[in-house]
Amino acid sequence: MTKEILKYLLLFIVLVVAQVVVFNHLCLFNVAVPLVFIYFIIKLPVTLSVNWAMTFSFILGLMVDIFSNTQGMNALACTVLAVMRLPLLRLYFPREEDMTNPEPSLHTLGPAAYTKYLLTMVAFYCAIFFLIESFTFYNWGLMVLRIVSSTLLTFIIILSFDSLTAKSR
Amino acid sequence: MRNLLNFLLRYSSWFLFAFYVVVSCGLLFNRNPYQHHVYMTSAGAIAGGLHDISSNITGYFSLRDINDDLQRQTAELQAEVLTLREQVRRYREDELQDSLRQVDSIGRFDFIIATVINNSISRPYNYVTINKGRLDGIRPEMGVMDQNGVVGVVNVVSDHYARIISLLNPNFRLSCKLRGSDTFGSLVWDGNDPTSAILEELPKHTIFHEGDTIVTSGFSAVFPEGLPVGIISGTARGADDNFFTLKIKLLTDLTALSTVKIISNTDLDEIRSVENDATSKSDN
């Protein structure tokens, strides 16, 4: 149990630092920003209560906000994402009891379900985040472009990271 | 009461969700940037510290280019300043001597830029090594400076490298004067602190204040006149000598040299030969 907590704490710190130091400065074609820190929310165990998931996600978002000067945007989007996590997961994987390990991964969910879950989560997050960021639809074409490209970029990065870690097991 | 507690517990997720949303919206809609708390921005100690660390790392990536640019720019400006100074001096001389015209070239000084590849500061006799040598036009007894001030004098030259007697070397005495006056003394390192040196033999009648700038006197033909060397930080010895001895805080940070400029005086050989002629004649 302690090992799990430590693992998540480490993941939290590594993701925040990586997002703030590296990924925030990656802006592909001036539209696509990888928002990889939500990997933490995606990886939270399904047995964790919604309250805790929300709290952790809120803190995660707040941390990224503080470091990247986006007041409350990521905190709000992360909270919403944490609430939507289990409903989205049940969409593709209705039998939570079948999971050997409560942590969603390529292994526990199977590649198809996990990929769909991941893509939906990332797309959902990017949509909320860029909606909050732009707020007015003065240039909604650009906003859609940003959502789609950022979703793809984040999805690819997280999936490749997952494949790498899955192979090493 | 029990019902209320049950109600709160059953819908705790909703309350928590609402709470977080309100908090983040509060942050989000706080449009006045001056009201943002410092801990909620990247100016906070931890966030700033992290960015500081990351820029400390990434800052090095382009540092070389930036540095080269700056050095080149400073070299150009410095050459311009010296040329202008020469020009002013020439006009002064013209003014004084009325009819006499000088035909020699105005820009007597040229700069060669080199990178420091070795530098000692902790030994009693310190030297700097640079990556330019004879083939790049460097000769012994050329002056060396960086963007802040004097570094030393070239003393050993190979084809591709040169060794410089650093200011932090008691063998090197630099003729200096107070900026804005013509009283001069001799700067030498006392062997203790790599950031300070001693200015000796300053005439007793000199009026100076702490914080005054010491510049090169231009008597040696190695350094042009008026290069900044240091700032007076106090008197070093008792006032009963015939000369003042001052503590000088060096403007050049010799502990962190990266790129230096070697001053090549195109008239150096001529000046040398004149001086040598004079001494050999007086010897006879």
Which regions in chain B score pLDDT beneath 70? 30-49, 51-52, 55-56, 58-59, 62, 93-108, 122-124, 191, 237-241, 268, 281-284
ipTM: 0.72
* Chain B interface disruption, residue of A19, A25, A79, A130, most B CBs within 10 A: A79
Point out the residue among B12, B20, B40 whose CB comes nearest to the CB of A71. B40
Query: Does residue A168 register a pLDDT over 60?
Result: no
* Chain A interface disruption, residue of B8, B11, B20, most A CBs within 10 A: B20
Quote the percentage of chain A above a pLDDT of 90: 5
Q: Quick one: pLDDT at residue B240? A: 62
Q: What are phi and psi of B184, to 5 degrees?
A: -125, 160
pLDDT in tens, A110-156: 788 888 888 998 999 998 888 887 765 667 777 888 889 989 999 99
Report yes or no: B106 and B83 within 8 Å, Cβ to Cβ: yes
Query: Which chain A residues contact residue B20 at CB under 8 A?
Result: 54-55, 58, 75-76, 79
In DSSP notation, B197-209 reads EEEEEEETT----
Q: Quick one: pLDDT at residue B147? A: 77
Domain ranges of chain B: 2-58, 104-266
Query: Which chain A residues contact residue B16 at CB under 8 A?
Result: 51, 54-55
Of A4-8, A42-46, A110-114, B91-95, the least confident:
B91-95
Question: What is the overall mean pLDDT for chain B?
Answer: 76
pLDDT in tens, B189-206: 876 777 888 888 888 787
Q: Quick one: pLDDT at residue B123? A: 66
Query: Does residue A100 register a pLDDT over 80?
Result: no
| B17-42 exposure pattern, b = at least 16 Cβ within 10 A, e = fewer | beebbebbeebbeeeeeeeeeeebbb
| B27 with A65: Cβ contact below 8 A | yes
Domains of chain A (ranges; CATH) run 2-164 (1.10.1760)
Given the candidates 1.10.10.10, 2.40.50.180, 3.40.50.300, 2.40.10.350, the CATH classification of the domain at B104-266 is: 2.40.10.350
Pick from B187, B194, B165, B180: nearest CA to B236: B187
Q: Is B44 on the interface with A (CB under 8 A)?
A: yes
Q: Quick one: pLDDT at residue B44? A: 57
| B40 with A66: Cβ contact below 8 A | yes
Q: Quick one: pLDDT at residue A164? A: 83
CA–CA gap between residue A31 and residue A148 (Å, rounded): 9
Report yes or no: A57 and A79 within 8 Å, Cβ to Cβ: yes
Q: Is A75 on the interface with B (CB under 8 A)?
A: yes
Q: Quick one: pLDDT at residue B106? A: 40
Query: Does residue A109 register a pLDDT over 50?
Result: yes
Q: Quick one: pLDDT at residue B100? A: 41
